[in-house]
Structure 1
Amino acid sequence: MSDDRQPTGSAWDVLAGTRLPPGHRVEITAGKVTMTPRTAASAAIARAVAAQAGEQSAGRGTVLAQAVVDFPSARYGYAPDVALVAPGARPGAGGRYGWRDLEAVLEAVPRGQQDEDFVRKHRFYAECGIPLYVLVDPAEAVCTVYSAPQPAGTYQEAERVPFGNDLFLPLAGRTLVLRTDDFPVESPTPGAEPGGGRGIVDG
């Protein structure tokens, strides 16, 4: 990892005591705090995933919904839509779980919102070794499961799963199976090019 990603405290310390606005994605990238409104489809997908994962994880791991997570940096802080915490993990300072506790993160983000900061976050997840990163795009009606994180900031594997197909998430000692047939689809961002913004490019 680069020097600004070393464990020098939590990025969330700067927002201590601040009430984060509901309905917004709050993130800290390279020391910059951003707040992006969540679309209705993204919020509905996150709720559906959290509910399904919670049912299947009863007694085995913890399911976090839009909870801030500590990463190894004072300049990067993220709160995934859904985070799957390994069995036996316990929260640390401030009641937050750390990146080493995560087995998978899932985010529902339309392609038109996948800007440069979003791409940097994707690379950061890989650098931190998050085993599974699931990106759900309600505008293109497809889920992409990234696996095999590399220290260079890429995921070696990427599997696309269109809405309507079951989403298999292989975790330690178990596999979650998420139904996607009821995931809502939203119209692409007005004025966006076909396929939306930059998206995620590995390699």
Structure 2
Amino acid sequence: MEILNAILPPREIKDGEQLWIQPVSSTPATRPDVIALQEQLDLRLQQRQARETGICPVRRELYTQCFDELIRQVAINCVERGLILLHVRDELRMTIAAYETLYESSIAFGIRKALQAEHGKGDMETKILDLEAKNRELERSVNELMARCEAIERQETERRHIDEKNHNEEIQFLKRANQQLKAQLEGIISPRK
């Protein structure tokens, strides 16, 4: 009985100023007791609407109570097995506590990353707007330069046509002058009749 009380300490219930101590039952469990425990666990899980998957504090509380009852039942028949199950329970609690800590830190990490991403999103949107404005300015500049190039090409084409026309006119003038000079020269050189 002392080992059983060490494994599962008695519950203390305070009613006003009255303190009641409920020790753990040392009555061994029978097969119908185990079946009743299973049915009672299923019924309480359903009544308290425990979730079947994920983290559920209700399901965890009910399974903890059921596991304590199993430890009690085993410890009554074999104290050593009861102690082993007690160690298993304590190890399970430490593992769950470690998982909870890991979960909470991962949530905090995720929130930090989401905030950083949100903050970076504003910076990126500002950068995108700046780059789009710069792009529009560069496109306007390219359009202006293209227009200037086209205007210069038109001017050069017109100037080349004018230069070609002037050159052709000068050639024609020089040919006519050459013809006249030839005619004059032939008139001077040829004997008069």
When the two structures are superposed, what TM-score results if normalisation uses the length of structure 1? 0.22
Larger-gyration structure (1/2): 2
More helix by share: 2
Report the TM-score, using the length of structure 2 for normalisation.
0.23
Structure number with higher relative contact order (C-alpha < 8 Å, ≥ 6 residues apart): 1
